[in-house]
Amino acid sequence: MDQKQLLEIIEEGESEGAEFKKSTAQLEKGLRAICAFLNHKGGAVYFGIDNKTLVGQQVSDPTLRSISQKVRQKIKPEITPEITVHGDGREKIIKVAVKEGLNKLYYLDGVAYKRVGTENPISPPEEIERIIMEKRKNRWGEQIYQDAIPEDLDWGKKVVSERRKETEENEYS
């Protein structure tokens, strides 16, 4: 991302997929947004931007390591975000980006968050239940195979029957 793209993001402001934090001192609030993005459509937290103003952020290896460790420690199931540094001089920002999570639900310290506009409210119990039920419904072993024919079932029964016979013969030999 070049300086022009960064300024465009700042000009657009916070959105369904972007959250701004003045510095990594606000990392806990940033983690809440990351969790919400995972449970929604993905997004990025930008550290070093305050109310559409580029304020910059001191960036060091320990700072980047700390962000990565906190994300892995506090958000479950564990994820690895894309952490990048942009800008130059004193006007550096840290971008922590995630895609929509594949293993929903994601929890920050045991609490699930969702992204609604520019906010990260706690997911209500009925929504959590709906997502869990949806996840159960989509398990591979429980999916209906639309193109199945009766012969497929007969073949499956035959294989199981043959395996049983082999097992019994081995037990009694």
Domain boundaries, the chain: 3-123
* pLDDT at position 91 over 60: yes
* pLDDT at position 144 over 80: no
Which pLDDT band holds residue 41 (cuts at 50, 70, 90)? very high
DSSP the chain: --HHHHHHHHHH-SBTTEEEESSGGGHHHHHHHHHHHHTTTEEEEEETEETTEE------HHHHHHHHHHHHHHEES----EEEEESSTT--EEEEEEEPPSS---EETTEEB--BTTB-PBPPHHHHHHHHHHHHHT-GGG---TT--HHHHHHHHHHHHHHHHHHHHHHH-
Q: How far apart are CA 65 and CA 24, in angstroms?
A: 12
* pLDDT at position 169 over 80: no
Which pLDDT band holds residue 38 (cuts at 50, 70, 90)? very high
Residue 138 is predicted with a pLDDT of 61
pTM of the model: 0.77
Average pLDDT over residues 112-128: 96
CATH architecture of 3-123: 2-Layer Sandwich (3.30)
